[in-house]
Structure 1
């Protein structure tokens, strides 16, 4: 098995064994990766690749919107922000606007960092209870 095949197998295993919280974190990180690449694409004048990467980021945001638990009170606050990010990504794509991408990147980073903290607190709570038993 080649190194590339081993890495791909590792990545596939990481996704299939991840918790829902970890999957959400992976989505945020993937979205950031595509936005950063789109910024580089704009700088390099690669409009086709910019379009592809922004669309990938949009698909991730749309997936986060669809999978949002509508019963949770916080969803009413998060959904409009996801919608805003999606619209700004569209605008950045049409205008090849790096400033918009930087703005959106900041919002996604805030979601990602908050989500990391939630995972960390949940793990502490989970393992804290296990230690008391």
Structure 2
């Protein structure tokens, strides 16, 4: 049985534009990275792993949906591969600094995406 929060989330996803869905994915990735960081601090290695695998799945989804006919996609693919490598490294070495680097990069991508959505890009 769904609770009100689950119903709201389902409706939000079903009615979101592609741009809003992308923003939701960036936010979800950041959420999983933060949860992994907290689990790492608490030495809960199993939860850290679960959250990082979810973050990696989001980054992988970004990679496979890139339109490689668009020039910037090649650069984004390299960046997504780097982030994924850092998530894997943080997962295998339990390195908080590596995890923080991945988080910073995802946050920058999310913030840039948000700025583009609002049309407040300045050159």
TM-score scaled to structure 1, two decimals?
Answer: 0.87
Structure 1 unaligned regions, length at least 5: 123-133
Deviation track 1:39-80 (CA, whole Å, cap 9, x = no partner) reads 100110100000000000000000000111211111011100
Contiguous gaps of at least 5 residues in structure 2: none
**Number of aligned positions between the proteins:** 120
Give 1:113 shift. 0.3
User: Which of the residues 70, 74, 79 maps onto 2:68?
Assistant: 70
Partner of residue 47, structure 2: 49
Give structure 1 regions of 4+ aligned residues with deviation exceeding 2 angstroms: none
In the other structure, the counterpart of 1:9 is: 7
Structure 1 equivalent of residue 77 of structure 2: 79
Question: Which structure has the greater CA radius of gyration?
Answer: 1
Question: In proportion to residue count, which structure has more helix?
Answer: 1
**Cα RMSD for the two superposed structures:** 1.4
